[in-house]
């Protein structure tokens, strides 16, 4: 029997984050010991509210601590008025967050970073951080509490890419939102699995998949069907393909079943100064001059990814 993995999920609670949280809570292999929120798809207050709404929908419990409202340096790249709102809806929940009751779930009165540190310190075994947002909270944790690094088993992050970008030509959204934070995390020496755009290329659901979730997933499946409608349409407008790319479920799926990804050890550095390439995660597969600092995902088994979500929705049904 595999050992249960204690995880902290750091999220900017958009549509794909909601799938990731649903998947995480469905697995007996993961124990979500806390959730922290960040700016990104929406502002951090909306992110917190969305987490609490989804937890109540799933009838799952975790304490929620609010984190960064903007990046470590520079102006706030809050996508709620840009890409985030376009893809995830102004509310971050596909413009259907109103369908869920106002949350009664209370936020902890600690900030996200202090809460992460407290959770990690008080856990008997090492904790895995699942990062589904800009890395601002995680970077601040590592800077503020350097002693805590050896209590972290690893960071499974959605972010970056070997080639290309989805927010900038060479920038993936979570890295673009706070490149300095990403560089701090990648250079921290903590074990990292970088689930970037190469894995996300296959981490998608089409309408028939989401229709199936609706049929088998009870109230949760029905809500996620509504949650995904505008996301499907917005993605089609952006990319020409009518598919819901569920980026954030990738690190969660990997924690549950590593066979879902093909990964390779690489040395990854974030370009902080390029005029056109700032936020690019420059990925060296050969590691000729530097030792690997991340396991990088190069492909994802879509059939297994879909199967894992189908089994999860069946549970909620």
Which is nearest to 258 in space by CA: 297, 294, 203, 284? 297
CB of 109 to ligand RIB, least distance (A): 26
Regarding 16 and contact with ligand RIB (CB under 6 A), the answer is yes
Which is nearest to 22 in space by CA: 194, 197, 154, 213? 213
Applying CB under 6 A, which of residues 132, 195, 306, 308 lies at the interface with ligand RIB? 132
Instruction: Kindly indicate which of the ranges 8-16, 78-86, 139-147, 297-305 contains the residues binding Ca ion, using the contact rule CB under 5 A.
Output: 8-16
Q: Which residues of 139-175 are buried (b: 16+ CB within 10 A; e: fewer)?
A: bbbbeebeebeebbbbbbbbbbbbeebbbbebbbbbb
Binding mask 219-248 for ligand RIB (x = CB under 6 A): ----------------------------xx
CB of 75 to ligand RIB, least distance (A): 18
Regarding 198 and contact with ligand RIB (CB under 6 A), the answer is no
Regarding 255 and contact with ligand RIB (CB under 6 A), the answer is no
When CB distances to ligand RIB are compared, the closest residue is: 173
Instruction: Kindly indicate which of the ranges 13-21, 52-60, 254-262, 264-272 contains the residues binding ligand RIB, using the contact rule CB under 6 A.
Output: 13-21
Are the beta carbons of 74 and 46 closer than 8 angstroms?
Answer: no
CB of 133 to Ca ion, least distance (A): 5
Q: Which residues of 11-23 are buried (b: 16+ CB within 10 A; e: fewer)?
A: bbbbbbbbbbbbb
Alpha-carbon Rg for the chain in angstroms = 18
Q: Could you give the CA distance from residue 47 to residue 36 in angstroms, rounded to a whole number? A: 9
Q: Could you give the CA distance from residue 65 to residue 80 in angstroms, rounded to a whole number? A: 20
Local structure of 180: helix, strand or coil: helix
Are the beta carbons of 167 and 217 closer than 8 angstroms?
Answer: no
Regarding 132 and contact with Ca ion (CB under 5 A), the answer is yes
CB of 40 to Ca ion, least distance (A): 6
Residues between 159 and 178 that touch ligand RIB (CB under 6 A): 166, 172-174
Q: Which is nearer to Ca ion, 12 or 230 (CB)?
A: 12
Binding mask 37-76 for ligand RIB (x = CB under 6 A): ---xx-----------------------------------
Q: Which is nearer to Ca ion, 85 or 212 (CB)?
A: 85
Which is nearest to 309 in space by CA: 25, 67, 74, 13? 25
Local structure of 257: helix, strand or coil: coil
Q: Which is nearer to ligand RIB, 62 or 203 (CB)?
A: 203
> Looking at 271-317, which runs of residues are DSSP E strands?
281-284, 294-300
Are the beta carbons of 3 and 126 closer than 8 angstroms?
Answer: no
Residue 306 CB-half CA count within 13 A: 16
Applying CB under 5 A, which of residues 17, 91, 107, 153 lies at the interface with Ca ion? 17
CB of 237 to ligand RIB, least distance (A): 16
Q: Which is nearer to Ca ion, 43 or 248 (CB)?
A: 248
Residues at the contact surface with Ca ion, assessed by CB under 5 A: 12, 17, 132-133, 248
Task: Give residues in contact with ligand RIB (CB under 6 A).
Answer: 12, 14, 16-17, 40-41, 132-133, 158, 166, 172-174, 247-248
């Amino acid at each position: 029997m595999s050992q249960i993995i204690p995880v902290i999920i750091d999220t900017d609670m958009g549509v794909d984050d909601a799938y990731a949280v649903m998947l995480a809570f469905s697995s007996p292999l993961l124990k979500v010991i806390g959730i922290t929120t960040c700016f990104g798809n929406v502002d951090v207050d909306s992110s917190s509210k969305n987490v609490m709404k989804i937890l109540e929908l799933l009838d799952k419990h975790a304490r929620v601590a609010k984190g960064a409202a903007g990046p470590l340096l520079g102006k706030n790249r809050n996508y709620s008025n840009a890409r985030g709102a376009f893809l995830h809806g102004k509310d971050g929940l596909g413009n259907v967050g109103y369908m869920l009751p106002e949350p009664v779930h209370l936020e902890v009165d600690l900030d996200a970073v202090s809460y992460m540190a407290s959770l990690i310190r008080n856990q008997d075994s090492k904790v895995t951080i699942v990062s589904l947002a800009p890395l601002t909270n995680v970077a601040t944790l590592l800077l503020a509490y350097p002693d805590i690094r050896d209590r972290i088993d690893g960071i499974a992050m959605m972010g970056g890419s070997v080639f290309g970008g989805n927010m900038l030509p060479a920038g993936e959204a979570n890295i673009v939102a706070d490149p300095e934070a990403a560089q701090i995390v990648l250079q921290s020496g903590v074990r990292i699995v970088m689930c970037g755009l190469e894995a996300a290329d296959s981490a998608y659901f089409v309408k028939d998949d989401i229709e199936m979730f609706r049929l088998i997933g009870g109230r949760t499946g029905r809500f996620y069907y509504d949650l995904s409608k505008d996301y499907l349409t917005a993605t089609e407008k952006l990319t020409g393909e009518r598919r819901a790319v569920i980026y954030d479920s990738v690190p969660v799926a990997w924690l549950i079943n590593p066979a879902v990804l093909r990964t390779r050890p690489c040395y990854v550095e974030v370009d902080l100064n390029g005029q056109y390439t700032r936020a690019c995660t420059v990925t060296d597969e050969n590691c000729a001059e530097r030792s690997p600092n991340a396991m990088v995902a190069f492909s994802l088994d879509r059939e297994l990814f879909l199967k894992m979500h189908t089994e999860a929705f069946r549970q909620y049904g």
